[in-house]
Structure 1
Amino acid sequence: MELLMANIINLNTEEQVTLMLQHLFGRHPNSSHTLLFSPDTSRIHATIFWDGAMWVLQDSSSNGTYVNGKLIHRGSDQHLHLGDLINFASLSADTWRIVDLSPPNSLLIPVTPGLPTVVLKDLAVLPNGEQPENTLYISASGHWVCESESGVSVLKTGDLVGSQEQAWRFIEASATAETLQNDVLEFATVDQVSIQFMVSQNEEHVSMKLTMSEQEYDLGQRNHHYLLLILARKRLEDIAKGLRTSEQGWIDKELLSKMLGQNENHINIQIYRFRKQIVKLLSNSSSLPQAIERRTREIRFAYGNVEISGGVELITTKSKAVL
C-alpha cells in the first residue's frame, strides 16, 4: 500500500513538493527547501511545519503570504487545511494548493540524481530488496538505525546512507511526546522473547513460533527459517559452553556462507525476508528486538530463549548472563 505524504502543488508549473517536518520556502538557494523565484519574495519567506497535531504556515517575510486570499503577516501562524491556496508575497504570484496533509514520516531524500524518495515506515533496505546492503529500522530506543556489514549506527537528520554510487539523506520526523511514550512502553527485551523451531528429520522444512509478552505468533514454514536455525544452534552451543552473553552466537560471515553454500548477498536477502515477515505479522513490529545482530565480519541470533525440536537434535535452553 502506498504511504501518504503531505505535499503541495504549484498550479502554474505543476511542481509537486513533499513537505518535510520544517519546510522552508524562499529565494535563498542554500537555506530553502523549495525555491521561490518572484522578486517580491524574501530570502526566507515562510515555513510550513508540523506542530505535533497539524500542519502550520508561519510567515517570516516582508510582503506576507496569502492563504485563500487572506494576508498572513510576518510572525503570524495559520493552520492549513486540505485544498488551501497559498500565494507567496502577492496574489499575482504562483498559486500553490495543499493536496495532502498526512502526518510526517521519516524520509530518505535522494542525493544521487534519479533515485526515488523513500518513505520510512517499519523497515527499508538499500539499494533494494535484491541487494540489501543497508537495512534501516526502528531500534528498541525508538531511533532509526542503519545496519550494514560494518555494524549498526543511529541515524540523525542530515546523515547520508547508501553508497557512493547511490546515496540518500536521512530526514527524521519527530513523533509527539505521547506517541513516543506509548511506543517505549510497548518495547520488549530479548529476554521476553522465546523462539521455537520445528525441524523435519531431513532438515528440509523448518517452522517457527515466536512468543513475546505471553502472546504466541505462528511464523509457519519458510525457506529463510533454516538460516535462523543455523544461527540459533550456534547461540545454544555457546550458551552450553558457558560463554559470556555478549560473546554467545557470533559466527564469521565467510564461514556461514560456506556452511550454507550461499554468498553474503543471498544471506542478506533471507534476513530481509524474515524481517518483512515480522513486519507483516506484528502490528507494532518495532516493539520486537531485532532477531539478527551484526558486528564487523560477524553475525549472530539475538535470542537465547530457544527450543529446537526435530532435525538432528533436540535442544531447549533459557539464556543466562555469564559474567
Structure 2
Amino acid sequence: MARITNQTTSESVTLLTQHIFGRHPTTSHTVLVMPEASRTHASIFWDGEDWLLQDSSTNGSYVNGKLIQRGTKQRIHIDDVIQFASLDADSWKVESDCPPKSLLVPVTTGLKLIELESLVVLPNEENPEITLYLSPNGHWICESPLGISVLATGDLVGTLDEKWRFIEAKASDETCRIESVELPKSSQLGIFFDVSQNEEHVSLRFILDGYEYDLGQRNHHYLLLLLARKRLEDKEAGVTEAEQGWLDKDLLCKMLGQNEGHVNIQIYRFRKQLVNTFPKSSHLPQPIERRTGEMRFAYANVDISGGSKLTVTSSRKVV
C-alpha cells in the first residue's frame, strides 16, 4: 500500500486506489483545511503501474517544489514531497509507493484499517463470524451465516457492533454474478480421508494437479469428515449435485457437541491450514459452502477410508 505523511502534523494516510484531496468534507478522502485549497483540489490514483497525482484546482499542486498545473498528471515516487495550493502549505512526504491492496476501512470508532490478504475473519480469529477470501477470478467474497456475496466498493462488512467499509483495489465489476464464486470443478482435485476405527484420528490428503499434499491429523478434520460423509451419502442416494451434502447447521453443532462459534473457529482453522499449505495459490477452492442455516463440504471427489461407518444422522456426540 502507498502511504504519505504530513511532515507538520505527522498524520499518515493510506492511499486508496482513487484518493481525493480537497476542502469538501464529504467528497474528499483527505480534507485540506487551508483556504487556498479547492473543494476538490487533486487526486492521487493508481494506473496499474504507478501512482499519479492529477491536479484539478485553481491554485495548483506541487511535487518537489514543481508546480503541477490543473489537469496535468505527475508520477510520484518514494521520498517525493507534495504540497497543495501553496509552497507555504504543509508538506506531504511519500513514504511508500507499493501497489494498492483491497481494504476494510473502519466505520466504527476505534477499529483499525485492515489490508486484505488471502483470508480475513471478522471480528477476530477467536470469534470468526464472517470470512472474507479472494475467489479464483479475483473477486473478494464475504461469507456469513446468511450466505455468500461478492463484495463491491462501498459495501459495509462486519457485525452489529463493529463495521468496516470495503474498498477494492481495482474497479468493481458491477455485472459480476454470484455464480462467479463457484468452486472450480477440476477432475485433478481429489480429497482422501484416513480415519481410525474409533474416529479419534482423522488425517487428510489432497491430490491436486497430480501432486499429493499431506495435511496430517487435525481436530478440525473431523468436522470436515462429517460433511464429506453427508455429501457421499447424498450422492449414493441419487440426490442432484446442487443439493448434495447440505447439512443443517444446528444438527452439525449437536453432532459435534459444540456451539456455532466453535464450529466457525474450526472452519477458519482449516481454511488457514490450506492457505499455509498453498501460500502462493489464489485459485484454491474454498472447502465449505454455506447457505441460510446450512453448510456442506465443497469437494465432490472424496474418498473415505476407515472409521466406524456411522452415518451423519447418528446421534453420536463428540467430546
User: TM-score by structure 1 length?
Assistant: 0.90
Structure 1 spans left out of the alignment, 5+ residues? 176-183, 316-323
**Matching residue within 22, 34, 49 for 1:38:** 34
**Matching residue within 235, 239, 242 for 2:235:** 239
Distance in 2 (CA, whole Å) between partners of 1:9 and 1:50 is 18
2:74 matches 1:78: yes
Distance in 1 (CA, whole Å) between partners of 2:138 and 2:128 is 22
Distance in 1 (CA, whole Å) between partners of 2:185 and 2:300 is 11
Q: Is contact 1:190-1:303 (8 Å) kept? A: no
Q: Is contact 1:132-1:268 (8 Å) kept? A: yes
Give the aligned partner of residue 91 of structure 2. Answer: 95
Give the aligned partner of residue 161 of structure 1. Answer: 157
Deviation at 1:314, TM superposition (A): 11
Q: CA RMSD in A?
A: 1.7
Deviation at 1:285, TM superposition (A): 3.7
Distance in 2 (CA, whole Å) between partners of 1:157 and 1:40 is 31
2:289 matches 1:293: yes
Give the aligned partner of residue 112 of structure 1. Answer: 108
Give the aligned partner of residue 204 of structure 1. Answer: 200
Deviation at 1:131, TM superposition (A): 0.9
Distance in 1 (CA, whole Å) between partners of 2:158 and 2:93 is 33
Structure 2 spans left out of the alignment, 5+ residues? 172-179, 312-319
2:128 matches 1:132: yes
Give the aligned partner of residue 4 of structure 2. Answer: 8
Q: Is contact 1:278-1:285 (8 Å) kept? A: no
Give the aligned partner of residue 319 of structure 1. Answer: none
Give the aligned partner of residue 52 of structure 1. Answer: 48
Deviation at 1:192, TM superposition (A): 3.8
Offset from partner CA, 1:115-147 (integer Å, 9 cap, x none):
011111101111011111110111233211110
Distance in 2 (CA, whole Å) between partners of 1:59 and 1:85 is 15
Q: Is contact 1:24-1:33 (8 Å) kept? A: yes
Distance in 2 (CA, whole Å) between partners of 1:168 and 1:192 is 38
Amino acid at match of 1:215: Y
Q: Is contact 1:161-1:167 (8 Å) kept? A: yes
2:80 matches 1:64: no
User: TM-score by structure 2 length?
Assistant: 0.91
SS at match of 2:192: strand
